[in-house]
Amino acid sequence: MSAELVGLSILILGVALIVGKILRMTVPVFSKYFLPSSIIGGLLVLVVGPEVLGVLSTHLPEGYQMEYGLFNEDMLRVFSSLPVILINLIFAALFLGKKIPGFKKIWNIAGPQVSFGQTVAWGQYVLGLLLALLILSPLFNSNPMVGALIEIAFEGGHGTSAGLADTFSELGFEEGVDLALGLATVGVISGVIFGVALINWAVRKGKTNYLKNPEEFNENQLRGIVEVEEREESGWLTTSPQSIEPLAFHLSVAGLAILLGWGILELLIYIESISWGANDGFLIFAYLPLFPLAMVGGIIVQLLLDRFDTFKLIDRNTINRIQGLALDFLIVAALGSLSLQVIGTHLEVFLILAIAGICWNIFAFLIIAPRMIPKNWVERGIGDFGQSMGMTAAGLMLIRIVDTKGDARAMEAFGYKQLLFEPFVGGGLMTAASVPLIYQFGPVPVLIFSAITMVAWCLVGFLHFGRKK
């Protein structure tokens, strides 16, 4: 595979993003439900690829058939390999440029949302594993590892789902990545639709404290265009371009975090190989993907910067742009290389997991959130609902709708909550290790551990924070 072909494949994904943005601006249904351009572009690549156009072309005369749609086999190989690379960059940059506060401050501000978010995430494991044990494996002969897909897809989203592709393959669960990506797509779309619907319900019932008479979004807001007078700086020049381009510097720091994560992972794999993993013992780290350790590397780099960087060289807005760039290309590449045939083969399993995941998240928001979050539960809980449906950006968007001026401090609490949430679930260590754990120990021990953890967080939320209402 030539470098030119890799470059051309990336350019095609960029064109798909542009077309997705144009469709977002011109098709009312896309604008109304705030569908990201990356998802629209990814679905477009899927349509003109082998899964749709390629299949339809088999009905054409010989010589007009297009086995890979508008692409070729090598391009599709690039599409499918990019997400595994880009997810490392996204997670390495997760905490870069953020002042990591003390545990007490995080707990005081975001404790209720940490409890709620952890309860929802571990509940997704409990629900998924119960379905796998009681329905999916006995009736549909599904791999027990399917029980982890609700959390991987709904909490982890497209990035985590695609980033685990190699892990799925190594463990003999090749269909897992396509099922997870399909679930993540369903989660994002339904998350936005149900999130907006839940906000409207809360306003009508008088459960919101600041959004009493929601104003209609203007045309440009629906299109995803920022008004000229409202545009903000996307980043600051913390270094002189004469010495080093600031964007290159920030990207290099994220790269350093990835390298640190890689070193930690290799060390863990080596320790495992000479200890409990020796002589055909059980292996966990050997199947663990890089991205959660890249996040750990990012935390280490940020702690060092907090201690030694007196010039404040890392700009968080610039880091956000790097993350956003990686996430957009990741989503369009992952959806473009999705296998509809795999989803079709396991359609019953897919639908059961999707419906169960959506119902659990809605139940958690309506029943659990008001009993855990003592103040402004709608404003604070809606962000966690959006994230639990597959996309942190969806959670942030829903917060901006219901807490426009920041009176409920929902955005601040949501940000702090991530520090005690994402290192473990929602794409963190447990998310990455869940499939290897099920592979090594079976679904029952993982189910028991998940249930105990969920109950523990429930007790913290109900008995500690819930009583402060």
What is the band of 214 on the pLDDT scale with cuts at 50, 70, 90? very low
pLDDT at 199 over 80: yes
Average pLDDT for residues 323-339, to the nearest whole number? 88
The CA-atom distances, in angstroms, between 273 and each of 166, 263, 283, 436 are 20, 15, 8, 15
User: In Å, how far from its chain's centre is CA 229?
Assistant: 31
Q: What is the CA radius of gyration of the chain?
A: 22
Residues 6+ away with beta carbon under 8 Å from 125: 147, 148, 150, 151, 434, 446, 447, 450, 454
Tokens at 274, concatenated: 């000479």
Predicted TM-score of the model (pTM):
0.84
Which whole-number Å values give the CA distances from 311 to 160, 318, 363, 453, in the listed order? 34, 16, 47, 42
213 pLDDT higher than 60: no
Annotated domain spans of the chain? 85-215+340-468
Give CA–CA dist 232/331, Å, rounded.
25
User: Per-residue pLDDT tens for 149-188?
Assistant: 999 999 988 888 988 999 999 999 999 999 999 999 888 8
pLDDT at 365: 97
Of residues 255 and 230, more confidence is placed in 255
Mean pLDDT, the chain, rounded, equals 89
Tell me: the pLDDT tens digits for 93-108? Answer: 988 998 887 888 888 8
9 close to 75: Cβ distance less than 8 angstroms: yes
Q: Which of the four pLDDT bands, split at 50, 70 and 90, describes residue 59? A: confident
Q: Hey, what long-range contacts does 224-233 have (CB within 8 A, 24 or more apart)?
A: 224/21, 224/24, 224/25, 224/31, 224/34, 224/37, 225/25, 233/317
**C-alpha separations of 104 from 36, 40, 111 in Å:** 36, 41, 9
